[in-house]
Every structure is written in structure tokens, then in C-alpha cells.
Amino acid sequence: MAKGSDMDAVVVGSGPNGLAAAVTLARAGLSVTVVEGAPTIGGGTRSEELTLPGFLHDVCSAIHPLGVASPFFKTLPLSEYGLEWIYPEVQLAHPLPDGEAALLLRDLDATSSLLGKDGPSYRRLFQPLVERWDDLAPDLLAPLHFPRHPVATALFGIRALLPAHQLARFSFKEAPARALFCGMSAHAFLPLQHPLTSAFGLILGTLGHVAGWPVARGGSQSLAAALATYLRSLGGELVTGCQVKSLADLPAARIVMLDVTERQLEAIAGPHLPAAYQRRLQRYRYGPGVFKIDWALDGPIPWTAADCRHSATVHVGGTAEDVTAGEAEVWRGVHPERPFVLVAQPTLIDPSRAPQGKHIAWAYCHVPHGSTVDMTARIEAQIERFAPGFRDLVLGRHTRNCLQYEHYNANIIGGDINGGVQDLRQFLARPKLLAPYRTPLPGVYLCSSGTPPGGGVHGMCGYHAASLALRDLK
């Protein structure tokens, strides 16, 4: 990258957090340049033809409950810059071995009524969160601080701290509600017997009711494109194909925002960092990875439970006990024979991503960190259990294991798409307890999912990091 005169801010990385940081700085009147090492922007929100011509797949993220509900994204006029959210009839489906499926609908009462005897318990668990989400969101999606609404946050925290498997067994008596909750909680990438895993189920379930689980029309790349176009309208610039291997590669700037995880931060800035901070970065832990498959299909997935054909998201794992056992195996370094599989089928509501009459599907399962094991047969066998005839529809497939993901995107260390373990310790200190975005180097900040509130397409890490940088600048 050419070295010019001093500028206000440089952002390294164009994922949702990097772009959110850049937009926050540009809205404050600063001159901002985003530097991206890949040929295209987007980080975890890229879309490509991975299988066959005309089939457009999301490379990483596909479903966006946090994106549509993000307190920061909601302040931006992204719809004016090409972003359109599309909502399925059913927000989430979780097929069960008996041929039925547990469903998450936008309407809380409708969801509760489908859960039979567990309906009242489900309503008691989620109704306070749904009613107070606008109050809770700024506190939950932020670094450690005294909450603006301490009572509501405390009531959430009491349940959120519990292991998901325990809360499911305590709250529900029947298989559908338990499976639905444990499937949402499994997004934690942690054994469901661990504390704090309930937080993921509570937040994702609440988002299903207050915001939905939508897809972006035309692929997740549409979100990155809208953010980039808006940034340019504010005077910001983007440079692609420019690898940053050290701070010396960057032009002089008053603020440097790094949308990289802790390991890259050490590599980029290590020689300049105090030894104690380097040791903190070296102790940062990365969690399980993913094995992902994208399919080009001759038709929609033939789920036995017909309601699964009306949802863009399907959690395939069987009962709550099955999901819990599979996630525990991954944590122990085992590749489950029957993994918990997260399936997205966006062409059910966005047919523009495939040729007429054809479909795409996207799926991943959790695997041990750094795994190179091919999980194709096990993932497809799981889907075939609940959708007999699925394999007959496959026209083409594209797979990525953990190390291939890391090669594709250096932030996905060992296949960890969450930017590091999100257990209780690293939830509080990510990578440090206070002002986690600020590094010991003046003007240099960390703004990736390796900072609070962690993984997910919400841009809040970038927003909070840039807001801190602006306060420091003043």
C-alpha cells in the first residue's frame, strides 16, 4: 500500500466488524481507509459460486438474526444501499426422530402453542426477554460495564449462566422444546454442560421472536456491499488485495483498527508489544472448528417433517440428548458419528441464488480444532435420516475443513469461526477485562470477534472499538 500523508484512521480487515469500525469513524468526520488482504471485501460475509455456475453460496455466514437486530446496523440506512432482509415463514426448524419438528415462529404465542405441555414454560422463559429486548441488547452486546437496565440484565444473567442442558431439563418436560433450546444453545461451540451456554439459546430464541432469522437477498455479500457503499458515501476508501504483515506496512494514521484475532495481532504488532500483553495474547484460546459443505441441488431438501420445508434454517441433530452428546464429543477431540448439523436452505425464500427450479444448501458441523477429517459422509447421513432421498438431489458439492478455512481467511484460526472460545473466562476477558479493544500501543485497537461481544455478524465489536478510539482521540 502506498504511503501517503498522515490520515485519520486505517482499518485492517473488511469483515462486518472492520466495516462497522470504519463507518463509525467516518460518521464522526474522520478520513478512513479500509485495507483488505483478499481480492474482495466481506470477511465472513462473502458469497461465491462454489459448486456449479449459477449457484451462489455463502462462504461463511448465511443466516442473520444478529445482523437484522444489531443495535448498530439498525442505525444505518443500509436498505438505501442495496441490503434487503428476507424472512422465512418458519424462523427455525428442528426435526425429531418421530418425524415431527420443533418450530420457532416469529409469534411467541404461536410458538408456545406448538410446544404443547411445555408451551407455558416456554412463554415464561422468553416473554420477559422479548418484551425487554430493546433495553437488553445494548447491555448484552457490549463489553463489561454497569448495565443501563440492571434488573432486566440480572434476570437474564441468572438463567444465562446456567448450562443449556440443565436449563432445558429444568424448564421443559418434553422432547421438542428441549431439542429446540439445546439446538440454539449449541451455537456456543461449547459442551452444553458448560456454564453460559444457555445465553446463546436465550438470545437466539429471543431474536427469532423480535427480529426473525432472515437471509440477505442475493447472499451475505449484500451486507458487506451495503456497508462498503455507505462507507464510500461518507468519504471512506477501501483497498483490496493488500496483505498487512506488520504495522510498518500501514501508512501513518492517528487511529489503527485491526479486525484480526489475537494470534494475528501478536504477529502484526508483536515486536512492539510489552511482554506481559504478548503473554496474554499467547494464552488466548481458540475453540472447535467447522467442517462445511455447500451443495448445488436438483430440488428442495425433502424433509420428512413438512414444516422444515418452510424454514431457511434447520438444526439437524435429533433429541436434546443427542445434540448434547455430540457437542461434548467434539470438545473432547472426537469426531461424532452423528454430529449436530446446522443447515441453511436460502433458495426456499431467495430463488435468485440458483438457476430456475434448482436450489442450494449450506451446512456445517462442529469438529475438533484444526481437524482435517472429511465429515461429508456423516453430515449427509444425518440429513438423510430426516430427509430420505436428499443425496439423490446433489448435483455438486464443495467442502472446507478447518485448515482450509484458515487458509481462506486467516482470522478463522483452526476453523474457529467464533474468533476464540466464548466460555465464562473469555467472555469476561476477551482478551482483557477492561477496555478490551485498546492495545498497549497508542492509537492501535483490536476490533474483531476476539473482543466483546464475540462471534456473530452484528458489527458491535467494531462499533465499540471505534467508539473507544474516538473517546481516546478527544
Identity (one letter) of the amino acid at 69?
Answer: A
Q: Is the pLDDT of residue 1 over 60?
A: no
The pLDDT value given to residue 270: 84
The pLDDT value given to residue 329: 98
Angle at 375 between CA 369 and CA 378, to 5 degrees: 130
Q: Is 256 helix (H, G, I), strand (E, B) or coil?
A: strand
97-103 — which CB contacts under 8 Å span 24+ positions?
A: 97/318, 97/319, 97/385, 99/304, 99/305, 100/176, 100/305, 101/176, 101/303, 101/305, 101/307, 101/308, 102/176, 102/177, 102/179, 102/180, 103/180, 103/307, 103/311
Q: Bin 163: left if φ > 0, else alpha if -120 < ψ < 50, else beta.
A: beta
The pLDDT value given to residue 3: 54
Give the pTM.
0.96
The pLDDT value given to residue 244: 95
Identity (one letter) of the amino acid at 133?
Answer: W
Q: Bin 131: left if φ > 0, else alpha if -120 < ψ < 50, else beta.
A: alpha
The pLDDT value given to residue 319: 98
Identify the CATH number of the domain defined by range 7-47+217-284+421-473.
Answer: 3.50.50.60
In contact, 268 and 247? CB cutoff 8 Å: yes
CA separation for the pair 450, 299 (Å, rounded): 39
C-alpha cell at 379: 453430515
Q: Is the pLDDT of residue 187 over 60?
A: yes
Please count the CA atoms within 13 angstroms of the CA of 394 that sit on its side-chain side. 18
Q: Is the pLDDT of residue 4 over 60?
A: no
pLDDT tens, 14-64? Answer: 999 999 999 999 999 999 999 999 999 999 999 999 999 999 999 999 999
Mean pLDDT calculated for residue range 441-457: 97
Residue 123 main-chain phi, psi, to 5 deg: -65, -40
Mean pLDDT calculated for residue range 121-143: 96
| Residue 40 burial (CB count, 10 A) | 16
Mean pLDDT calculated for residue range 102-112: 98
C-alpha cell at 91: 424462523
CA separation for the pair 223, 64 (Å, rounded): 10
| Residue 208 burial (CB count, 10 A) | 26
The pLDDT value given to residue 2: 47
pLDDT tens, 221-244? Answer: 999 999 999 999 999 999 999 999
Identity (one letter) of the amino acid at 172?
Answer: F
Over pLDDT 70: what percentage of the chain?
Answer: 99
Domain boundaries, the chain: 7-47+217-284+421-473
The pLDDT value given to residue 474: 87
Mean pLDDT calculated for residue range 431-454: 96
CA separation for the pair 207, 91 (Å, rounded): 10
Q: Is the pLDDT of residue 293 over 90?
A: yes
pLDDT tens, 196-224? Answer: 999 999 999 999 999 999 999 999 999 99
CA separation for the pair 320, 238 (Å, rounded): 45
pLDDT tens, 264-292? Answer: 999 999 889 999 999 999 999 999 999 99
